Amino acid sequence: MSSTLTQSFQDSRTLRESRSAPVVAVSATSDTQPGYSHRVRLNSAYITALENAGLVPVVVPPLTSASAARDILSRVDGLVITGGEDVDPSRYGQDRSPQCGVSNAARDETEIALIREASETRKPLLAICRGPQVVNVALGGTLIQDIPSEIPAALPHNSNDARSTRVHDVTIDEGSRIADAIGETAISVNSFHHQSVKDVAPSLKVTARAPDGIIEGLEPKAEDWWMMAVQWHPEEMNDSPEPWDRGLFRAFADRLTEG
Ligand code: MN
């Protein structure tokens, strides 16, 4: 190949690479009630937040095998675990409380396989709402099955307000990934959960809490795994006057872009 041709080949290759955006797998749920038409579902706010950050989302439904979940993860740049049903308490060795909501066995299986694979391969992971809960369970932790009945003094965490209404404060550890992404250590957040992290998995650490002590943010102890898990819903704050929540998606995108 002549030097001119080589140069031209390299130029087009650089151009193509600079235009390609990171692809992220985004977990979705599925209806499980008998007697209804079943659909795969995902709130479109997640898609908007990820596209606004320059990422290409691929929706992953609950699958019938853990190996399929691992096959998907090997082909994407990052993983997003989204909000949804209560994780089956048998996954963390507890009997089901009467206050525990319905579970989706296929979703539990799929997400736990995705999370364990992401942890082992150090693939970047952003986990939201159910996200920190199922990440904690996948890595050996447990959950509070129902905050109001198990911790009567807790703040109301299952808001009836609009999805973008900030209802309680969160304190974030200085120097944590979450604090760096948000740019603050004290913010207020929306809140739509009746469960939360209880015993923290051995490989994780708490980096954000509500004033009542409820865990609102988790990160890995290992420096070489980029993972942020938040209990609130940053994807519902796409139009918020405060830039805090968009900072989480930007930090995720920055990590994926830097390779
Ligand atoms: Mn909360």
Residues 125-134 have pLDDT tens digits of 999 999 999 9
Of 85, 111, 235, 236, which residue is the catalytic one? 235
Do the Cβ atoms of 233 and 190 come closer than 8 Å? yes
DSSP run (H or E) holding 60: strand 56-60
How, if at all, do strands 215-220 and 227-230 pair? antiparallel
**Residue of 157, 168, 193, 233 with catalytic role:** 233
pLDDT at 34: 81
Residue 209: per-residue pLDDT: 98
Active-site residue among 100, 111, 117, 129? 129
**168 is a catalytic site residue:** no
98 alpha carbon to ligand 1 midpoint, in Å? 21
Distance 178 CA to ligand 1 centre (A): 16
Structure tokens at 74: 């090997």
Q: How many CB atoms lie within 10 A of CB 137?
A: 23
Q: Give the Cα separation of 110 and 143 in Å (integer).
A: 19
What pLDDT is attached to residue 33?
A: 80
Residue 1 is predicted with a pLDDT of 45
Residue 14 confidence (pLDDT): 56
How is residue 85 written in tokens?
Answer: 């049903």
Q: What are phi and psi of 134, to 5 degrees?
A: -75, -30
Q: What is the C-alpha separation between 159 and 92, in angstroms, rounded?
A: 26
The pLDDT score that the predictor gives to residue 259 is: 60
Confirm if 119 and 174 have CB atoms less than 8 A apart: no
Separation of CA 208 and ligand 1 centre (Å): 11
Q: For tokens 């290409």, name the residue.
A: 56
- CA-to-CA distance for 173 and 28, rounded, in angstroms? 30
pLDDT digits (tens, 9 = 90+) for 166-180: 999 999 999 999 999
Instruction: Compute the half-sphere exposure of residue 65: CA atoms within 13 Å on the CB side of its CA.
Output: 5
Count the alpha carbons within 13 Å of 82 in the hemisphere toward its beta carbon: 26
- Residue numbers of the chain with a pLDDT score lower than 70: 1-19, 259
Annotated catalytic, 17? Answer: no
User: How close is the Cα of 216 to the center of ligand 1, in Å?
Assistant: 6
Cβ 195 vs Cβ 134: under 8 Å: no
100 is known as an active-site residue: no
CA dihedral over 250, 252, 254, 256, signed as positive or negative = negative
Question: How many A from CA of 225 to the centre of ligand 1?
Answer: 25
